[in-house]
Every structure is written in structure tokens, then in C-alpha cells.
Amino acid sequence: MRQDQTKSCCASPMIDSKLNISSTSLHILAMALMLCDHLWAMLLPAQEWLTCIGRIAFPVFAFMIVEGYLHTHDLRRYLLRMLVWALLSEVPFDLMYGGSIFYPYHQNVLWTFLLGLLLIRMIDQGRGRLRPVFSFLLSAGIVILGFVLGYVTMIDYYGVGVLTVLTFYFFRNRNWRNRICQFLCLYILNVKVLGGYYYEIRIFGFEAKIIQQGFALLSLIPIWLYHGRQGIHSKAFQYFCYAFYPAHMLALFIIREWILR
């Protein structure tokens, strides 16, 4: 799910290069964590730590999708590429999620990103044509629309997934105000909205709850360590990132079916 972007801005020389994560590193990290989550779902259900760290992957992907939108020089091509890979990923996703080549009750995550990108485009067009107050009302309406459509279309992460993409768009500047807003939005979406499953632990005689979906907040650490450095920029790596999504799901399904035999 590599973004199509032009040459990125150089990071500040005051930032230690060791703490300046590239977009390439973010993609590899997100893919590795997504694989952990799907390994838990398909092959290793007893290893719940895999799905806990897997919660980190989606917000990182959502952030990079927005970065792709902000830096692409050809939005139509970017959207078309997302559409093509969403279609190609649907059967592997259905096999992994529903156990059949056609499972209409849940759609793969690329549809979530595609819907998010289309809504961002609508917001941008409105901002260029409307007065600020009407632009704000339009943005608020699109947020509500995105949340509802996420559930109606049954895309991965539902309305919460769409709002996660919009969160990184609205609060995209790298300053402490936007980072606080990112944290608060992810907290509400992941802990308050999706936080139904939790672990009970005891610390010095006191009981505490750890929300499993709350691990998604840890995604902000690598996201905040990213300062626009691109890393590897080649067509081969770009298509590898897109192809990894359907390929690893198909591979996990085949392995599970082979084990069950």
C-alpha cells in the first residue's frame, strides 16, 4: 500500500537521523504488524500478543494513505491503483475472513482507504469553493457521511476506519496541537468506540483493564518519528507493498487449509 508521491521535503537538520523514520520503514513496519495480526487470526489463535501488536498496523497505513494523497502528482492514477488492488484483494480477503471466494458481509481494507481518499477529495474541493463557515459544515457532514458509509458498506474497520483516515488528514501538520488531536481522536475511536475487548490485570493489588484495541495508540510513536523522509522510491517496491496484501492473505489461507487436512 505504498503511496504515489513526489520528492518529499527534507527533514530538519536538527533532527537526529536515527529518529527520522522513512516512509519505507513505516510501510515495512505496518506490513510486518499486519502479518502478525493475520497469523493470529489464521494459524496461531492462542498467541494473542500477535493481534495486540497487530492493532498498530492500521493507523500507520491510514497515515501513509493520507501522505500519499498530499504528495501524489496524479490523484486519478493513485485512486485507480487503489481501486484495482482493492478488487484484486477481495477474493483473498474473503477466503481468509469468510472461508469462501465470495463473502459479501465484510470488505477488505483497501475499500476503507479508497472511501477515505474520495471523502478527502470532496473536502478539498469544498474548501476551494465555499466560505469558511460553509466549508466547516461540509467537512462535518462528510465526516458523518463517512462514518455511516463505513458501516453500510461493511468495509474493514467500518466507520472507525474511515474516520481514522480523516483524522490524519485534518490534523496532518507536525506540531504539538495536531499531535494532541491525533491522540485524542485515536483514543476515542479505538478505546471508546471499539474498546469492547479487554484484559484484566492486577498491579500491586489494584485491578486494571487493558483495552486490546488501545494498542493502536502505539502507532503514533513511529508516525511522529516520521518527518517526510521517503526512503526507497521505486516501482518495484511500490507494487510489492500493494501485492503483499492479497498475497499474504492467500498464502495464509492455503497454509491453514493444508494443516486442516
Q: Write down the pLDDT at residue 107.
A: 97
The amino acid at residue 85 is: W
Q: Write down the pLDDT at residue 216.
A: 98
Q: Write down the pLDDT at residue 146.
A: 98
Task: Judge contact between 220 and 15, C-beta under 8 A.
Answer: no
Q: What is the pLDDT of residues 84-141, one digit of tens each?
A: 999 999 999 999 999 999 999 999 999 999 999 999 999 999 987 888 899 999 999 9
| Cβ atoms within 10 Å, residue 189 | 23
Residue 226 forms beta bridges with which residues?
21
Close Cβ partners of 42 (under 8 Å, ≥ 6 residues apart): 96, 252, 253, 255, 256
Q: What is the DSSP letter of 11?
A: P
Q: Write down the pLDDT at residue 183.
A: 98
Full-model pTM? 0.91
pLDDT for residue 12 is more than 60:
no
The DSSP secondary structure of 52-113, one letter per residue, reads HHHTTHHHHHHHHHHHHHHH-S-HHHHHHHHHHHHHHHHHHHHHHHHSSS--TT-B-HHHHH
The amino acid at residue 56 is: I
Q: Write down the pLDDT at residue 36.
A: 98
Q: Write down the pLDDT at residue 172.
A: 96
Residue range 238-261: mean pLDDT, rounded: 96
pLDDT for residue 15 is more than 90:
no
Q: Write down the pLDDT at residue 18.
A: 59
Between CA 40 and CA 62 the distance in angstroms is 22
Task: Judge contact between 57 and 34, C-beta under 8 A.
Answer: yes
Q: What is the DSSP letter of 8?
A: P
Q: Write down the pLDDT at residue 19.
A: 76
Higher pLDDT: 40 or 205? It is 40
Q: What is the pLDDT of residues 44-97, one digit of tens each?
A: 999 999 999 999 999 999 999 999 999 999 999 999 999 999 999 999 999 999
